[in-house]
Amino acid sequence: MYPKTIQKLIDLFSKFPTVGPRTAARFVFYLIKLPQTELEELSSYLKELKKSIKMCSWCFNSFDPSLRSGQASSEQAGSEEVCPICEDKTRDKSLLCIIEKETDLTAIEKTKKYKGLYFILGGIINLKKKDKKDIRIGQLKERIKNNGFKEIIIAINPTTEGEITRLLLERELRPFNIKITHLGRGLPMGGELEYADPDTLSSSFDSRK
Ligand SMILES: [Zn+2]
């Protein structure tokens, strides 16, 4: 129904998180109105994205290896696989916080409350698809196995799907015999971590149980 290029872009944008076909179409018609220079800028950033950003081999956080400070940045590639948080020697290596996605990590870091490590699951249980294959449970268990954590905090949105994911994680991680907690009061049921204000998120860390 649309010209082929437009339809192709709509299809691509429709795959973005929380974007449906109607929003995707609005994106495309917004892009059509932009000056060519801005489109080229956008497209050059897109081209660079995968080249300039790496995914941490331990926690799956995205980071820019060129911004790493000190000696590490001059080391050979391959030693650059770990993100600044995992590498930071001042962080508490006995604490692990499991989150769904990078934007949750950013929200938690903003509170300055939490000083442990993270693990990004990469998704939560999707009730429609009943699918676990997008969630990094296998890798998570690998990380927990050899690291001597004293506490694992599950910081996942208190939505229905988030709660189901949390219960699944608690069941999967119980055999490790490590204290498992989740965020406490403050976050409204159905709310999303990344939109919570820092004070609320901070106090939900304090009241974790
Ligand atoms: Zn990391």
Summarize pLDDT for 36-48 with one digit per residue, the tens.
999 999 999 999 9
Ligand 1 centroid to residue 84 C-alpha, Å: 7
Ligand 1 centroid to residue 90 C-alpha, Å: 14
* pLDDT > 60? residue 207: yes
Average pLDDT over residues 194-205: 87
Q: What percent of the chain has pLDDT over 90?
A: 64
Average pLDDT over residues 133-150: 90
Ligand 1 centroid to residue 24 C-alpha, Å: 32
The model's pLDDT over 163-180, given as tens digits with 9 standing for 90+, comes to 999 999 999 999 999 999
Among 24-28, 48-52, 183-187, where is mean pLDDT lowest? 183-187
Q: What percent of the chain has pLDDT over 70?
A: 91
pLDDT for position 74: 42
Average pLDDT over residues 51-69: 88
Ligand 1 centroid to residue 39 C-alpha, Å: 32
Phi, psi torsion values for 11, nearest 5 degrees? -60, -40
Ligand 1 centroid to residue 8 C-alpha, Å: 35
Ligand 1 centroid to residue 23 C-alpha, Å: 33
Ligand 1 centroid to residue 87 C-alpha, Å: 7
* pLDDT > 80? residue 189: no
Banded model confidence at residue 69, pLDDT cuts 50, 70, 90: low
pLDDT for position 15: 94
Ligand 1 centroid to residue 82 C-alpha, Å: 5
Q: 70 versus 181: which is more confidently predicted?
A: 181
Q: 28 versus 73: which is more confidently predicted?
A: 28
| pTM assigned to the model | 0.81
Ligand 1 centroid to residue 207 C-alpha, Å: 25
